[in-house]
Structure 1
């Protein structure tokens, strides 16, 4: 099943294109989209088409911050029917739980995990499509929107500790500084926002419990917009958990709120098994990691769950026909 997301994901696309003097029509046609199709923010469009459009637009406009520029003017209202519920949550923690609970109404490709480590919290995010496409533009847009949401809930003076990206830095970080108001690190081990744990429970001064109850009742009455398959949900979870060394079937099942047998049965009904999905995601991630010169082979080995580098080398050679050193030399 093709992963579909709301056309609202491309909010501000045409404004940024116009500012950069980019004609978007040929790029839209190439990925099977049109201005008319994007007019309704609730229209469902293929995620992979969005990723390809953003990457092509950044390249054609020679603007590596194309996606991030789209995030600059995002408002909570762009979250659609869930926006009222988000805006009246008592804390940022509660708002994040709403996003994860109703992601089928927001963005089926979004994978999010909140990791607490003492006084620090890491909000990890990934965009997971059908082709395993890496999207610098997509993830910068997603984290830009997440940062804007945090500021909307906690106020404009909210400052994360840092923002982390797995991809390399661009030459000019002016837009990153303007959007995030905190240090931005590249070549990191995850995509996400690091903040103080206390921020998650700081009161939202604009929260109205009565409005939150009304909004939740309304959202609960909505259909699932087609929902997403268990296979895709597991893929998203593996994307987040594999670099953390937690991509076991027990951990994934717990995160999805079911026992292992239930997860196995649902995957079997969907025509797959857990080990195949781990293998699939590992292949997609290794290509992403190998493309980043900041990642050493030993670091890549660890991120993919291999404690012994020689085991990673054997696996890679079996998958790609050459040793990782040779593959990297030939492809980058």
Structure 2
């Protein structure tokens, strides 16, 4: 049986989002209908609205979500009706070349729902990251549902679906931060703040937050930063950069073991590259503009050694990581709840985009 529910869509490039009625079809054999309880407002949703990801309008926005499985397709075995789940956009297929090599975190063929959600006139919707959760209900593949402890607050749990997991995983999984390591994080929005919290959880003893905002830097200390640097006057040009010099000062003249760029600009990546110790690791988790270019002398790449990595979704495995970090939060060992800056209604998403641009929130969360 089809259902009609309220949802937020981006109809055309750059236009304000709209609250409309959408049609949820009968689930296919491996699809499930999830009743959404909460969904974070992520910068990726704004990028969809502005046409910076693709031009497949109209988009059904929202993807950092948690809710209750309401209806399951006839062949679903992964979840059952009534399960409390966090939605993920990497539903590991188990069959692609990455999965066959034992690297499911790089799965190239993630599953999505087999049926299409539509507007009432039949226009097909493109769900953001294959999820589309600024809605009372959404349709996803069963593999996109990760069961977690139902005692968790949905507004908190849902944030693991994207931004928090991206930053946390960039430190713990991609950067492999370990006990006693030194870490620098460039850009302390939601993703960067999660990288700081992840570095602290992993046992790093020197954690340096770098940003242009003193307010964000002060907040970074609450998440685990031991040092902060306002990089407003930095040039981003290499060894002579003032931010790089300060990082070396905080690390005995050597630089950090792991440098994480949570911004994705050539300047911040260059700072991260030169701010690390010899044989250190650079992790790029901020998404670059498609036209950006990085210019670093090849001799410096060779001479400094180490690793230059990109972090996709924090190199996470949702089935392993989501339940673990929910449990750590419930045990008081990880500050997942502190990422929720405000709770809003479904019709406040456009206003939340404006708030996001001010840099004064980590996450606005739509609560249904």
Higher helix share: 1
Higher strand share: 2
Normalising by structure 1, we get a TM-score of 0.23
